[in-house]
Structure 1
Amino acid sequence: MEEEWLKLVKGERDEQRLAGLLLVTKFCKAEDQSSVRRVYDALGPHFLYRLLRTAMASGGGGLNDNRNAYLSLSITLLAAFCRVPDIASSEDMLFHIPLVLEVISTRSVLSVLEECYEFLYLVSAASESGFARFFESGGIKMLASQMRSLQDVIVAALARQFAVLHNSLKFEALHLLNAILSSKDSSQLRDAFRLLPQDSWSPNIRIGIMAILQNRVAPAERLQALILAESMVSMYGEDWLIGQVSTNDALDPAPADMCLLLVLEQSRVEIAVLLNELAYLKYEAPLDTSATAEAIFLKRHNVADAYSLVERIIKLISNVEGNDGNLLDEGTLTKLIHQLNETIAVVLEYLEDAKEHGQKKGDDLLASVRIIGSYLAEAPVACKEKVQDLLGYMLSLEGEDEQRPFYAVCFLLPMLSQITMEIEGCKALASCKGLEAVLDCFSKLVGSHAFLVEDNGCIFMACDTIMNLLLKKDKVQIMLDVSAIVDLLKALAHWSENTDEMSSMMMASSICTLIFDYTSEEALLNCPDFDYRTLSSLYLLIARCLASSEQDTKAYMDLSEIVSSGFSRWAHRYPHIRDAVKN
């Protein structure tokens, strides 16, 4: 029978070849790659291209039926041939990508579309050239534009297979999902996914991830499952990690918090492994080799995904009181906090190692400070001794694109604003010269070259930290040099000139009042980088706050008291401020 197929496929006339191909699609098994290869070699690539072009040509009457048949046949054959990896990676198959994308954009027959997507997946996954051609041909944009109508074709079907399969195809589905969701150009796709009903595919993704994380699979596949979880959480929020598996999807429904616990546990393990490997590559492996550089880049990328998941879980815990239905019970919270403590301890060890090796610059170090800051914002006394030992070092770290520390300080401000409410915390920050770092950060946040921040949160936490130390100056030795005072006062003046919010003006006025304790009008005007215009702006700020309405005074009673009592202490050293107050 096979010889008869091949004779027809090798025929001189197109009619013979078509007849042979029809037999091939009926009797040739897809898994029989040797037979598929022989048919492909006998047919040659040019005939398939002509067949596809003929099928796509416009026309009317009875010709449409033939063209639809030719189209279905050609797409079926393309998908079948590409199940052989070396055919899928060939230049001949790459040549068909634009045509198949055109078929998707103009046809709605489900069976044809499914095989079009199979062809595109097989070709783009077979080689880097295949994916590059897919991208260059507008494949990502086309998928995004089609996504709403492809719910049953791609997303729901693939997610379902990811949930129910228990063989190697499960991992293929995992890799495909990650290829779709983790692409650098996936923003359009993610926007389209958000419009789909979550119950059409999202629960199946959760089931598949749980199955991988709680079974013995290769570490690489566990990491891929975490990357997929991070993509889902990025789209739907951290609450996605909590969800009861429907009895329709599982004979033995899993607890609602199982996915959350599994993801955090595996993230902790991955972070420990990845940071250990990253430390080896940075400090012990041969330097200046392309292999080492590539490995470091990959490890940093994977660490970032694991960090992101842990930070999302920290956010989930911080909002637990607002969760409807109290989805996290006390037992679950205890487990989560235990895992988080272990995770943060590992990250602190990584930073300690970096400190010993004199490292102060790197996005991996900055990301490590960020995750530590996220957790310490909720648990400021966690890993207390280690945090205090590394506090000065963490405040000095820079990202790859930074010239001076800034973001590391921002990440730690929530914790700093809390620990400095106590004398011990103030001493810890003062002893490592952390106040200078906070002052510099504050100046960048509100100064004339202000950094873009999401909200005023960082500014007010920096203010709280500064005020906490200044208010305890009698119990904590704080040394402020002239340049630090001048820079801070200039930043306060700029901030007050560019805001109408009473809360900002009261905060700026309070800090200015406390700083005026350290100097005098004469001393400030003798500073080369300070002028009377700046001082006059600060005088007007303080005068406005002193003259604020009774209602404003009640709203900011503590700050108002700081300003009024400070004015009575040092007004004699600032003779021109009385003119501002009188006016």
Structure 2
Amino acid sequence: MAARVASDDGESNKNPALERCLGVLRDAGSDSEQFAALLLITKAAKAGEIDANTRRRIFDAVGFTFPNRLLASKEPPEGCPQNTFQALGLTLLACFCTDPDLARHSQVLNKIPMLGDVVSTPTPEDSSYSAMIDDAYQCLGAILATPQGPRELVNRGGLSALCQAYVNQSYGSDQALQLLVGLLTVAETKCWQRATSDLVRVLNILSAEFQKAEDLTKFQLCEVLPRFVPPRLSAGAECLQPLYRGLSSILTSKLSVSQRDPALKLAACLSQACGSKWIPAGSSGSKFFALLANLACVEVRLSLEELDLTEVDKKQELVAACYVLMELAIVECTREESSLLREAQKVQLVGILEEAFGAVIHYLRQVGREKMEDPFIFASIRVLGSWLAEETSSLKQEICDLLPFLVHYAKVLFEKERKGKSGLQHEVEQAGQKPLWRGDALRFLLPGLSHLTTEDRPRQILISEGAPVLLCQYYLHQWEVFASDSATPSMLEVAETSLKTACEIFLNLVVTAPDLISREDCFAALMDILLKSLPSLCGSTKHLALTANVTTLGLMMARKLFAYPGLQGTPQAEAFFAAAIHFLAGGYVAQTDPVGGGVALSISPAYEAVWPAIRELWFLGMQAFACCVPLFLWLPQDVLRSGWLQELLVMLGCVAPKSVDLELIPAFQGILVELARASQPCLEVIQQHRGLELASLYGMAALEQCLCEQ
């Protein structure tokens, strides 16, 4: 019999029978007398008649010792049901647990495994066991409501027991589901870390029920299900097909707002967990996804264009879910292979997305500076970043108008991060992800900024707003993360991606605004970081794409900063150029041609996998290195010492000329010509390795002329 608190704290004083029982309990001289008094109390008082004061008096009279003995007793009194002692012990425990101070007591917390056994055991036909289950659920619910309760429930097996109780679908399984929802609400990450397989079993049952339901249950489950979708779902997960079918039946019907909104949130939750893998390929899946994306875009426009801020605040959770669906729509529109959408659908959807992002930009311009701390502003900037990463030709005027705010917002959040005031750590919404800096708006804006810095007007706005200084500081921050021994693999992945994209932006600035590099002091600090970081990258091919970016950016900047003291033959400068030589020299090798025999020039096997991503950087790096040779008098000697010049000449001398792509010839010639002009020892090495003959063989006219003039 579960005990509940009465509304009238003085009610026990109006129940003489209950008072007499309490007197007997207080004065009991033996277990038998205590047991008899407790039985009298349960008969004399209904659960609702036990108020807080009376409950405390019962606890003061018996404490935890007697309930503990009852719960541990296996043999019932003669003529009593099997679980008499345990039932009475649970009733007392449930009574005590309605007091929050008692619910968090260690004597209650250590009962979690026992309570889990009660609720997860298939229900016997004995009706008294149902009352025990009710009492056990009351205890578990009281524990959950305490500050440390969720952690204790997860650590002591309560979470798994609740999952099993729901999977059994026995008495009280609806209570198990309610407690699971509550537990996942307050301790989602910990729950998935400790009981993934148990929670997935619950999800599979819920998804099957969701597909079958044809009444209000379907919409109720639609609100519950997002709690049970794990951070990551594989394409073959058992739940995906029924969830898709259930959502399809909802979203293709005429619905009220209250019915549609939970469906959009569930669809967004699935999209976060597995992208578009939950939607089947083919005509039906294509139509469904187009509808889903359309609904999301319409909802964003309706919510943000009118700018009733009170209404926007109420709908933030829904609009944020729509943002997730819009991001997925961008992915599908830009996917060249295996997209859910046909080309005609992509064209139509891009137009709809453009209108929705127009509303996002409008909202940010109107209220962004006033609501800087609002997480919804961050979510809006994140989704806008995904659009800018792929599409900068539309909404040009609107984007330019918004750029000052975006730079200001990113700067404010970055400064808070550096000062440690931003509540930094959070779990990123996808499994295994990583404690990440919550205010890292720049991470999502970088790809768009990479595009925008190639265009004159956006680039000038970014420069005038101080974006280069901010980006240099950000690069330093991300390098510290990347170089840290304590960084997790997922943190390293994010940092590396950010570093590569930042390098792209700096390269754009070096090419399109070269005076800026020598004018802004921040670029000297960036040069220092590049000098220090490249040697540490060069030893491994694991980070080859980042190595390519750092090498090329460093060489391009060195051309503009050649007078900078840090580049004047310092150990760091020499180490940087040695690492740059190592990267550039490793791009091509001489290999036996497996088809035609002979020796051919081929892309290095170590570079082959990432060559499409670094090819242009390699060629640009070769050109930049050649330009650096006459600027740094000590550099030719370092080239000789590295052996690169000799190896290059030997390689060109042994491979079949037809195996050397025409685009490679200017790259090699540029290096050879500058070395020959800048250094007599280099000239002699070139001459000793048949330089003139090779120049004629490969059509290197500039090299041939240079050698003939010597």
Normalising TM by the smaller chain, what interval?
A: 0.5 to 0.7
Q: Does 1:508 align with 2:523?
A: no
Query: What does 1:51-90 align with in structure 2 at a 5 Å threshold?
Result: 56-59=71-74, 66-67=81-82
Conservation of the 8 A alpha-carbon contact between 1:241 and 1:260: no
- Describe the shift of the 1:136–1:265 C-alpha distance in structure 2 as closer, same or farther (beyond 3 A): same
Q: Residue 314 of structure 1 corresponds to which residue in structure 2?
A: 330
For residue 237 of structure 1, the aligned residue among 274, 290, 303 is 274
Q: Which one is further off, 453-462 or 341-350?
A: 453-462
User: Does residue 146 in structure 1 map to residue 185 in structure 2?
Assistant: no
Question: What does 1:163-182 correspond to in 2, within 5 Å?
Answer: 163=211, 172-177=220-225, 180-181=227-228
Structure-1 residue corresponding to 2:638: 580
Query: Residue type of the partner of 2:337?
Result: E
Distance 1:353 1:258, change over 3 A: same
The amino acid across from 1:151 in the alignment is V
**Residue 228 to residue 138, structure 1, CA distance change in 2 (3 Å):** farther
Residue identity opposite 2:553 in structure 1: I
Q: Report matched runs for 1:549-564 at 5 Å.
A: 550-551=588-589, 558-564=616-622
Q: Deviations over 1:156-186 (max 9, x none)?
A: 55445555556665555445445x549xxxx
Letter in 1 for 2:400: Q
Mark the structure with the bigger radius of gyration: 2
Q: How far apart are 1:227 and its partner, in Å?
A: 3.8
Cα deviation for residue 197 of structure 1 reads 8.6
Distance in 1, Cα, partners of 2:247 & 2:531: 56
Q: Do structure 1's residue 280 and structure 2's residue 309 form an aligned pair?
A: yes
Aligned partner of 2:242 among 172, 181, 203: 203
- Cα offset, 1:322, TM superposition: 3.5
CA separation of 1:55 and 1:201: change in aligned 2, threshold 3 A: farther
Partner of 2:353: 340
> Of residues 414, 434, 459 in structure 1, which corresponds to 2:447?
414
Shift of 1:268: 3.6
TM-score by length of structure 1 reads 0.65
Cα displacement string for residues 273-304 of structure 1 (whole angstroms, at most 9, x for unaligned residues)? 665798836xxx9xxxxxxxxx96x8666654
- Candidates 486, 491, 499, aligned match of 2:529: 491
- Provide closer, same or farther for how the CA distance between residues 109 and 397 of structure 1 changes in structure 2, counting only shifts above 3 A: same
Equivalent of residue 471 in structure 1, options 480, 505, 511:
511
CA gap of 1:158–1:508, structure 2 versus 1, over 3 A, is: closer
Seen in structure 2, the aligned counterparts of structure 1 residues 169 and 463 have a Cα distance that, compared at 3 Å, is same
CA spacing shift, 1:269–1:118, aligned 2, 3 Å: farther
Work out whether residues 56 and 67 of structure 1, in 8 Å CA contact, stay in contact via their aligned partners in 2. Answer: no
3-state SS of the aligned residue for 2:114?
A: helix
Deviations 1:301-326 (A, max 9, x none): 66544433433443455457236xxx
Q: What residue number does 2:577 align with?
A: 539
SS at match of 1:110: coil
Looking at structure 1, the residues matched to 306 and 527 of structure 2 have their Cα atoms a distance apart, in angstroms, of: 46
Find the aligned partners of 1:495 and 1:117 in 2 and give their Cα distance.
62
Q: Which residue does 1:462 correspond to in 2? A: 502
Identity of aligned residues (%): 17
- In the alignment, is residue 519 of structure 1 matched against residue 561 of structure 2? yes
- Report if the CA contact (8 A) 2:532-2:576 is conserved: no
Could you tell me whether the CA contact under 8 Å between 2:534 and 2:550 is conserved in 1?
Answer: yes
Q: Aligned AA for 1:488?
A: L
Structure 1 residue runs of 5 or longer lacking an equivalent are 1-9, 22-37, 183-189, 246-253, 286-294
Q: Tell me, yes or no, if structure 1 residue 387 matches structure 2 residue 427.
A: no
Contact 1:360 1:396 in 2 (8 A): no
1:448–1:268 distance in 2 versus 1, CA, 3 Å: closer
1:349 is aligned to: 362
The one-character-per-residue Cα deviations of 1:29-69 (angstroms, maximum 9, x if unpaired) are xxxxxxxxx9755899989x999989954425998992358
Aligned in 2, Cα 1:210/1:415: closer, same or farther, shift over 3 Å?
Answer: farther
Q: Shift of the alpha carbon at 1:538?
A: 3.2
TM value normalised by structure 2: 0.55
Letter of the 1:264 partner, please give it.
A
Q: In structure 1, give the amino acid aligned to 2:501.
A: M
Give a deviation string over 1:363-390, Cα, whole Å, max 9, x none: 4333322211112323343423322332
Q: CA deviation at 1:237?
A: 0.7
**Greater alpha carbon shift after TM alignment, 402-411 vs 488-497:** 402-411
Contact 2:119 2:133 in 1 (8 A): no
Report how many residues are paired. 506
Q: Offset of 1:514 from its aligned partner?
A: 2.0
Unaligned runs of 5+ in 2: 1-17, 22-32, 170-176, 178-201, 418-438, 485-490, 590-600, 604-610, 642-710
In structure 1, what is the Cα distance between the partners aligned to 2:631 and 2:269? 59
Amino acid at match of 1:203: P
